[in-house]
Structure formats: structure tokens, C-alpha cells
A and B are shown apart, each in its own frame.
Chain A
Amino acid sequence: MILRLAFGSLMARALTVGMTILAIALSVALFLGVEKVRTGARASFADTISGTDLIVGARSGSVQLLLYSVFRIGNATNNVTWESYQDIARRPEVDWIVPISLGDSHRQFRVMGTTQGFFEHYKFRGGQALEIAEGHGLTDLYDAVIGAEVAATLGYHVGDPIVVAHGLASFTEHDEQPFRVAGIIARTGTPVDRTVIVSLEAIEAIHVDWHSGAQRPGAGTPIEQIRQMDLTPKAVTAALVGVNSKLRIFGLQRWINEYPQEPLLAILPGVALQELWQIVGIAETALTGVSAMVVVTALLGMMAMIFSSLNERRREMAIWRAMGARPLTILGLLVLEAALMAALGAGLGLALLYGGLVLAQPMVDAAFGLWLPIDPPTARELIVLASVIAAAAVASLFPALRAYRLSLADGMMVKV
């Protein structure tokens, strides 16, 4: 009955109560939304690479190496010479090694030169392998295998020609050596979707007539002649390495990092990712803090609303008192009302969040390649909701204590 009365009391003030609930709902939706994006981004990054024990590149920062080699964010400052690559490949700890050569682009998408090994060893989302949805893998020198998003955005099909542009934002195209779409990779939700994959030799081939970044004047080397050439690369951008025993990872890492002939860097993807999170964590914390402050603001608004309603409700308090309610009951009633408002706000906020997720999911995926999963609320989210309700109850204690004192002073004889 008390609950029914508290509910009735709220309904009687539908407008102000409604606005308060809406404010709480929006703040809760924002807070949970930020959390969703945060965890979604983390999960999506963490899902991008698995099964690779070490990433090797020229010496730079480990986060930088991780970003350019796996996420195609930023660029390598240096390359790894083929000799060093082969030295590493010959190490007894190495189970497999896959070279990666970056630097060219096709439209807005990066072109990556690699070997067949990439398709065998690159794993994402807890060990899932790449899958060719259409066509086949790299067989010919001028074969290109494209990611799902490349295919979707540019409307490419198997068999279509592709011209690779020199550099990343350049109008100079390697148009004398067109590639052919050999296969399309099934959507992975990783940067592979936005990558054009060609063979390592192909990268070498298109640069046959290029020297020091400029095209050698005169007619290009005929394709037939290029096919006969030794297309062993002189350097690669990075390499993905699998070791035959996890116990040897650190040993191999140390060996690579102390490799005397060339300054190299070997990183554990998981560790580098965590370093990245430590950097990003500050911004994340700030974002979480701001959205938490929005929740606090909404709760303060509720507190102000309760305070301002106290005067007009003195008569009501007097009735409760006359009927035998203790001042403590009055206090409890106000806290109950606040908790009800917060619960409604939290519930509505959750509904807003899921509604927003349904709407935003395809857009966020298209714009940022970030797939926000629509899952039932996690324990953490439920704890957040419970905390909001608890915080509302605590916040309402201030006006409730005032009501308590008012009802003690007024008794049942309030003059209105």
C-alpha cells in the first residue's frame, strides 16, 4: 500500500516527476552507452589479432608497431631488412613467420603485401581463421584478395581489375601493372575488411621501375619480363611470428630486441594492446567521469525537485503524521519515491540505450568498423543501474531529512 501511495504521489506530479525521470534516463543511457562503446572498442581491438605470438618491426614504440602492423593506423618509420627477417625466420623457436609489406593504397584502402602464410596464420576473434567468401586466394603474381568492406564500398567482384596507387594519398598509380580481384574475404570485423591483399612479390614487382620514390623515366619494364625477375623483397614492414612454445616467447623476443645488425622491436600483441589501453585509459576515464557527472547532475536535479516539492507537500505530511505515521515513515516515503523515480529512470535509460544501439549499430560499424554487440545487460551494467538507484536514495536523504524535521515541527497542524 505504501508503494502504491508513493507511486500515486509520483503520478500526481507527472510533469515534474516525468522530467526528472527523463533526465535520469538520458544520463543513465549516456553512461551505459559510453561503457558499451568503451568495452566494444576494447573487445573489437582485442578480437583483431589472436594466435600471433610476436609482431616484429623496426624499432619504435610497441604501441606504434601494433597500430601500424595490425590496425593500419599510422605508418612505419622504418622497415625490416629481408636479411634480418630471414635471420628471425631461421630461429629454432619460430614456428611460422608471415611478412607484411605496407605502403601502397587502392582508393581509400591500404594495400598489404604478404604471403600465403597470412591466410593460414592470421587469426581473429579468439582463433577464427580468414575465409575466402568468393573466388580463391593468391595464386598469380597480379592477384589481389580484398576485404569484405573493400568489395562492398567499391562494388568489386571477383575478376575485376584493380590499380594500386603509389603511397597512401597519391595520384600516381601503378597503372602499368593492373591487378585482378582473385578473391573476397568474408567479413571479419577487423582491419582486414578494409585491406587489399597482394603477394609480397607483387609489391616488389610494381616497384621495379621505381627508384627513390620516383618513376624511372622511359617505358616500363614489360610485365613478361617482370614475371621472370627475382622478386625477393629487400625489406618488409613487419612480420607476424608464431613460436612453437609459449615458454620461448620471451627468449625470442629478447633475441630480436637485442639483434645486433639492425634495431628491431618484437612485441607481444596482448601486452602492446594493454599498453595502448593504459594510454587510452586516461581518456576513457575522463569520458566515463564526464558521463558519471551527468548522472550525478540528473540526481542533483531530482534532489532539487524533491526539495522544492516539500513546501507544497507539508499538508500531505501532516495527514500522514495525523494518521500515525512516524517522522521516519515520512523520510522513508520520500526516499522510496526517489528510488522509484531512479528505478524508472534507470529502466527507461536501459530502454533508450538498447533502442539507440539498434539504430546506431550499423552506422558505427560502417563509420568506425566498430561492432557494438547487443547483449543482455552485463552484471557490471546491472551494478551501475543499482548504484544509480542507491545514489538516488542517498541523495533524497537530504530533502527527506528536511521533511523529517518539518514534519516534526509541523506535527499535524500545518497552516496552509
Chain B
Amino acid sequence: MTLSARALSLENVRFRWSGRAAFGLSVPEFRVSRGESVLLLGESGSGKSTLLSLICGIVTADEGRVSVGGTDLSSLRTGARDRFRAEHIGVIFQQFNLLPYASVSDNIQLPLRFAPARRKRAAPDEAARLCAALGLPEGITDVTAGHLSVGQQQRVAVARALIGQPPLIVADEPTSALDAATQDSFLALLSERIAATGASLLMVSHDERLGARFDRVVRLSDIAQTDGMTA
């Protein structure tokens, strides 16, 4: 498998936050293949946030390389990294994903604002189609996001991550705010939709029970070493 065929690869990565209580993270090797779904298990404080910041290009590695879709993030300038993130990565947080004052449709289309290529890929009615596919009620696109239930908000966040088919979806505990019943159906939908677009999924969670739905389960402690205070 060539490098470019990998959705994500970290090699000999070292990173240390500057200015804060010194917290460092090193990842000798970690890869996600194209179309693969990986569950990364880790307690809070195990360096998840730092790892996700590295993958999304919010921070750059002090050493080693972080590649997304074959592009070395550290080779990009700051502005270009922000745009790269908009173009290639769909991000889902655990909660408060949406701008509460904006409509569902504006929320879903927000990343397209910063990603021209992704915008071109997205059909004009894609936001509505994604909402429908995610089981959201019809007409929800005009509703102000702040008025939705937490479950609906998370599904809108999925629609936002998927719009314009970015090759990599990064999800940070997207189910933690949901109750058990909703969790399961949410995950099912997520996997199904991601499979439909052929994107890779990297999901971070502390919940081992979710593992069944993934191609691969990796413990953060197996791939990364941390030192110092947690960030």
C-alpha cells in the first residue's frame, strides 16, 4: 500500500505544547487506510485532544510527519492547513457542534465556505438529502440549530462532516452526549453513511462497547506515549 493510499499516517511524531504545563505526545506509528473505520480507545487525559489537533493540522508536529491523504501537514503553511482541513476532514465533536444561532442548512454548509473544491462536489440540495438520509425531519434545514434536541444536533453535525465527501471523518466521542438507545442508532447511521461515501473514519472514545462497528480498534496507549501534565 502506497503512502497516498492511506487516509492518515503518523510516523515518528513528537509534539510538545509550548507555553502550557509541559505536555508531550509521541506517536511512533499510526495509520488509517482508505475506507477503513478505526475506533481509538482512550480515557480523557490520554492525549486524545492533542492527537486530534495534530491530525486536523491545528498544531504541527515538532518531529516526524503527519500525513492526511498523502499530504504532509507540516509542509503546509498555517492558512493552507486551515483550508486543507476544510477540504479533507469532516469533524464531529462530542456536543455543541453547531453555531446555535445559525440555521441547520448554514451549519451544514459552513465548511464548504472555506473549501472551494469540496463546495463544487456538494450538490445544491445535498444538505437536505443528508438530513433526510440521517433520519432528520423534513424542513429541518431552515430551523435554527439551537432549537434542536441534542440527538438531532449530533446528526446535523454528521451531515456537516459528510457534505462534499471529505476523505477523512474525525469524530471525538460523538455519542457521549446521547442516551444508550440513541447511541446505537446514531452509530449505525454514521457507519452506514460513511460507508456510502467511502470515507475513512477515525473515532475517539473511551467506550469499548462501540468497538463492534469498526474495522479496527486501537488503544491510544498502544500507539502513543505521553509525558507531563495532560492538556
Chain A contact residues, CB within 8 Å of chain B: 1-2, 4-5, 8-9, 11-12, 315-316, 319-326, 328-329, 409, 411-413, 416
Chain A residues with CB under 8 A of B10:
none
Chain B residues with CB under 8 A of A320:
99, 110
Chain A residues with CB under 8 A of B110:
5, 319-320, 323
Chain B contact residues, CB within 8 Å of chain A: 19, 49, 52-53, 56, 58-59, 78-79, 82-83, 85-87, 91, 93, 96-103, 106, 109-111, 113-115, 144, 146, 160, 172
Asked whether, in the complex, the Cβ of A323 is within 8 Å of the Cβ of B91, the reply is yes
- The 8 Å CB contact of A4, one of B85, B91, B106, is B106
B72 to chain A, nearest CB (A): 18
Chain A residues with CB under 8 A of B52:
412-413
Q: A12-B146, A412-B91 are in contact. Are A322 and B56 (CB under 8 A)?
A: yes
B82 to chain A, nearest CB (A): 4
A210 to chain B, nearest CB (A): 81
Closest residue of chain B to A415 (Cβ to Cβ) is B49
Asked whether, in the complex, the Cβ of B113 is within 8 Å of the Cβ of A2, the reply is yes
A383 to chain B, nearest CB (A): 33
- Besides A1-B106, A411-B53, A413-B52, 19 other CB < 8 A contacts? A1-B113, A2-B113, A4-B102, A4-B106, A8-B102, A8-B106, A9-B101, A12-B146, A319-B96, A321-B82, A322-B93, A324-B87, A324-B111, A325-B86, A326-B83, A409-B19, A411-B58, A412-B52, A413-B58
Asked whether, in the complex, the Cβ of A321 is within 8 Å of the Cβ of B99, the reply is no
Residue of B86, B110, B172 with highest tally of chain A CB at under 10 A:
B110
Bound CA span A8–B115, Å: 22
Chain A residues with CB under 8 A of B83:
324, 326
Closest residue of chain B to A7 (Cβ to Cβ) is B101
Q: A323-B114, A413-B49 are in contact. Are A12 and B78 (CB under 8 A)?
A: no
Asked whether, in the complex, the Cβ of B58 is within 8 Å of the Cβ of A315, the reply is no
Bound CA span A272–B81, Å: 68
Bound CA span A1–B172, Å: 27
Number of A-B residue pairs, CB cutoff 8 Å, is 83
Asked whether, in the complex, the Cβ of A324 is within 8 Å of the Cβ of B53, the reply is no
Chain A residues with CB under 8 A of B79:
326, 328
Bound CA span A324–B101, Å: 19
Asked whether, in the complex, the Cβ of A326 is within 8 Å of the Cβ of B113, the reply is no
Bound CA span A2–B146, Å: 18
Chain A residues with CB under 8 A of B172:
413
A-B contact pairs, 12 of them (CB 8 A): A1-B109, A4-B102, A8-B103, A315-B96, A319-B99, A319-B110, A324-B86, A324-B114, A325-B86, A326-B114, A409-B19, A412-B93
Closest residue of chain B to A9 (Cβ to Cβ) is B101
Asked whether, in the complex, the Cβ of A324 is within 8 Å of the Cβ of B93, the reply is no
- The 8 Å CB contact of A326, one of B78, B93, B160, is B78
Chain B residues with CB under 8 A of A4:
102, 106
A9 to chain B, nearest CB (A): 5
Chain B residues with CB under 8 A of A416:
96
Bound CA span A409–B19, Å: 10
Chain B residues with CB under 8 A of A315:
96
Chain A residues with CB under 8 A of B56:
322, 411-412
- The 8 Å CB contact of B53, one of A1, A11, A323, A413, is A413
Bound CA span A321–B102, Å: 16
Bound CA span A65–B172, Å: 84
A384 to chain B, nearest CB (A): 31
A340 to chain B, nearest CB (A): 13
Chain A residues with CB under 8 A of B82:
321, 324-326
B63 to chain A, nearest CB (A): 19
Asked whether, in the complex, the Cβ of A321 is within 8 Å of the Cβ of B58, the reply is yes
Asked whether, in the complex, the Cβ of A324 is within 8 Å of the Cβ of B106, the reply is no
Chain A residues with CB under 8 A of B87:
324
Bound CA span A413–B93, Å: 9
Bound CA span A315–B153, Å: 15
- The 8 Å CB contact of B101, one of A11, A323, A328, is A11
A322 to chain B, nearest CB (A): 4
